Amino acid sequence: MARMEDDPVRIPITDELDLHTFRPNEVGDLLVDYLGECQKLGILSVRVIHGKGTGTLRTGVHAALAKMEIVQEIIWPAGERSGGWGATWVRLKPSQPSCPQPSPG
């Protein structure tokens, strides 16, 4: 059975997201979903690998990150041993514990 192009692809949630295999128009939603899962799992420091290239993908990644409330800090370039200009460290805010619902009566 052939995989439909629009079927979701499951990727493991780790402290690193390599965007080389994704199209630029997929990155915005992917970042929201991936970093949200990282936050839920307590992974608060994530290296996003966007590559050096022309900078178009990096610009899109940074614009998406800037709109996300869960992002505490964006560090670019990532550092010589972490991908330099081709990667960005993202620090996430800790997830807020959900408020317990009052029990009825």
Provide the domain limits for residue 45.
Answer: 16-92
Kindly report the pTM of this predicted structure: 0.82
Query: CATH no. for residue 26?
Result: 3.30.1370.110
pLDDT tens sequence across 44-60: 999 999 999 888 899 99
Q: What is the pLDDT of residues 85-95, one digit of tens each?
A: 999 999 999 98
Q: Would you say residue 47 lies in a domain? A: yes
Whether 7 maps to a domain, the answer reads: no
Long-range (24+ apart) CB contacts under 8 A made by 37-41 are 37/13, 38/13, 38/92, 39/70, 39/92, 39/93, 39/94, 39/95, 40/95, 41/13
